[in-house]
Amino acid sequence: MSDAKDLFPILQRSADPAAVAAIERLIAEAPDHHLCRINALAFAARNGLDEEDVLAAMLHAAHLGLFDISWNVLCPGCGGVLDSNATLKTVKKEQYVCALCAAGYEPTLDEMVEVTFTVDPRIRKIGAHNPHELPPAEYFRQIYWGSGVDLPDEGFAELLDDFMLETIELPPGEKAILSIQLPAEFVIVFEPVTHAVQFLDVRGEPTRERQSLSIVIDREHTLNQTLEMHPGPLRISFENRTDTRTLPSVCVAAEALHEMLAKRRPFLTAKRLLTNQTFRDLYRTDTLDVDQRLKITSLTFLFTDLRGSTELYERVGDLAAFDLVRAHFRVLNEIVASEAGAVVKTIGDAVMATFPTPDRAVAAALRMREAMRELNRERGGEDLLLKIGIHEGPCIAVSMNERQDYFGQTVNIASRVQGLANSQSIYATDAVVEDTRAAEVLEAAKLAPVSQGAMLRGVASEVALYVIP
């Protein structure tokens, strides 16, 4: 890891020192499995650090070459990684199927795409850089399951033994025979590399006669019809027709497996990263292809605009007005970033920003309004009057004009809501105000939103609005 020593002083200049120090210790001292598909949120919690500081530090570290970023499509059911991508640009399937859960899912950026960090092999070599050489238990831990499954650090192999009857390593092109004793349970023969699965419904009277099963492992036939079998001896013939090592495993779908998969923890979603200011600043247009349309089920949009900016230029002159407007943009950018948001674009004197949750947008709006009041007090006037509108809902992430952008009715409504706002007023829809965490922010600020319905251009029905005084 000689290269890392040269990179950390550079990282110290662009990221939080405590976060950088924790990353340096991680790379130098942590066991291999801690450096594969790092869950940034869990890392922050484990080290008692602010999540936003850690995200910024890890993104800067990745940009310097310390980490490789992975965008993994997850199964919402079992938490397994259905597809791993070095970039979001290759997440293009309309549906991803989990054979283990026997279900298909349309990918959304909210909870189905995680973003993880793996140490670059030039910095430190770990086992996961050659996943087909990992022991079976570590392949399941580091490669198959996503970072949202809260797997124990100690005793993981013993935990697998509670529900896994047998596992074999089968080289490419090879055949193998596995003999087991079937219990009277629902049994799953699962192969984590190809995701091939065979369900066995084991029931009825036990038998002493040997039962037989033949399974061909390839990448085309991952899910077979459920077979009924009796408790007793079973001889399974495996044939690996792939070009990689496979790991056919026989598991019991009982309480031990379900308990392990039920233990979940927060993870860094693609939605959260796309609305992170550091990510947008560092990676800019290198996120989505122009033909991609990726769904987000919930994102909060905040629009701002300066009231009377034209009159401002006439009143104080072009140079002074330009400096004022630039100062206003600088303050808004800082507030957006500090509330886990990102500025998508500026249009004239207006700002479009996104936040992962409504409470962050409301907190940002309140801070923006107070910041403008402070700037006005410093100048002894009322030159900066900010109109703010907030709305939350589903949208589509797209690439437009060489920039990662958003499209949909939620964006349109947020923009229209801002258009209704008066000077220094904040307008928000019921989707924002009725959010539990946003309500707590308003209650802490001792602000009571005032209900006000309105018809918006391009929206058929009346929209429930609130004015935040």
Strand partners, 74: 81
CATH 3.30.70.1230 maps onto the chain at 280-468
CA 211 to chain centre: 45
Residue type, 66: L
- With tokens 């008066």, the residue in question is 422
| 341: pLDDT strictly greater than 60 | yes
Average pLDDT of span 439-463: 85
* pLDDT for the residue 96: 93
What's the confidence (pLDDT) of residue 317? 64
* pLDDT score of 325: 80
SS3 call for 409 = helix
Q: How far apart are CA 210 and CA 191, in angstroms?
A: 23
Contact assessment for residue 424 and residue 384, using Cβ atoms and an 8 Å cutoff:
no
Q: Report the share of the chain in percent with pLDDT over 90.
A: 74
**Residue 429 pLDDT more than 70?**
yes
Mean pLDDT of the chain: 91
377 pLDDT higher than 80:
yes
DSSP per-residue codes, 169-211: -B-TT-EEEEEEEE-SSEEEEEETTTTEEEEEEE-SS---SPE
pLDDT in tens, 378-426: 877 777 789 999 999 999 998 877 778 999 999 999 999 998 887 678 9
Q: 299 and 354 in contact (C-beta within 8 Å)?
A: yes
Q: Dihedral of the CA atoms 392, 397, 400, 403 (nearest 10)?
A: 90
Please check whether the domain covering 280-468 is classified as CATH 3.30.70.1230.
Answer: yes
The tally of CA atoms less than 13 A away on the side-chain side of residue 352 is 19
Q: Output the pLDDT for position 316.
A: 65
137: CB partners within 8 A, 6+ apart:
156, 157, 160
pLDDT digits (tens, 9 = 90+) for 25-48: 999 999 999 999 999 999 999 999
Is the model's pLDDT at 1 over the cut of 60? no
**What does pTM read for this prediction?**
0.90
The pLDDT of residue 265? 96
Q: CA end-to-end span of the chain, whole Å? A: 55
The confidence score (pLDDT) of residue 176 equals 97
**Element housing 240 (H / E):** strand 232-240
Q: Quick one: average pLDDT of 178-188?
A: 96
Which pLDDT does position 306 carry in this prediction?
85
Q: What pLDDT score was predicted for residue 267?
A: 97
pLDDT, tens digit, for every residue of 114-165? 999 999 999 999 999 999 999 999 999 999 999 999 999 989 989 999 999 9
454 to 386, 449, 461: CA distances (angstroms): 20, 15, 9
